Structure 1
Amino acid sequence: MTPQTTSATPIQAAGCVLWRLSPFGGELEICLVHRPKYDDWSHPKGKLKRGEDALTGALREVVEETGYTARPGAELSTLHYLANGRPKQVRYWAAEATGGGFVPNLEVDRILWLPPATARDRLTQPRDGDLVEQLLRSFERR
């Protein structure tokens, strides 16, 4: 920790609910990442670099974890929770995949493109399922 941070200072992170229209039928699909370190399924996200804007960090994390570039859409909720006993704050955006492709790496060994209901059920943390619902509501407002 730097001199200006304490164990009570929230870890700043950002991520996206990455989506696309299926190439096989045009249905909405959501990308989930599997992190072998935690053996969990989540939305792509990660810690911000010092001085990094949250949206820039969210899009960087999408590329690093999924190999896909993305066009950001509506800002979704900011989630607050404890990670290893320290508060963590994660800002999220809806983001449409615009290109790229997945290559397994040390941080993420698999991704899945799933229909929203299936994605919601596959997510390890229930709080992440709320983000799927917010994404769907953002489409209804269009």
Structure 2
Amino acid sequence: FSAGPGREPHYELLEDSENATYRLSWFQKERINPARVKRFRVKGDSQEDFLFHNDTVLVNLDETNIVDGKLYAIRYENDLRIKFLFRKLNGSLVLHSKNPKYPDEEISPELANEHISIIGRVRDKSGKGGL
């Protein structure tokens, strides 16, 4: 993946879905349909100290409407990423990383509509990252 000359790519690759055990009561409490979630392994460091390389996330595929400041799995052209999303008043979309070494990306409304699709909202995370 190229992010331009002299820059590291800032994305997290989502790998194949992985199984995990959750209580049905948790899904009911969170109002999530268990048939509409997937777990993915995170690759990359742009969300450290919140998510770490090889952590896993649970993504609710039914939550595709953006709530400012929430974490989402998105497809940006052919890249799969985990980003905190914010909408600006002008309609542009801000892709935010927790790691300060990765600056925010602001995507115009036109480019966002054409090149970004929301896979779902991240609702849970697990892993040994940071230990």
Q: TM-score range by the shorter chain?
A: under 0.3
**Greater relative contact order: 1 or 2 (C-alpha under 8 angstroms, separation 6 or more)?**
1
Q: Which has the higher strand share?
A: 1
Q: Which has the higher helix share?
A: 1
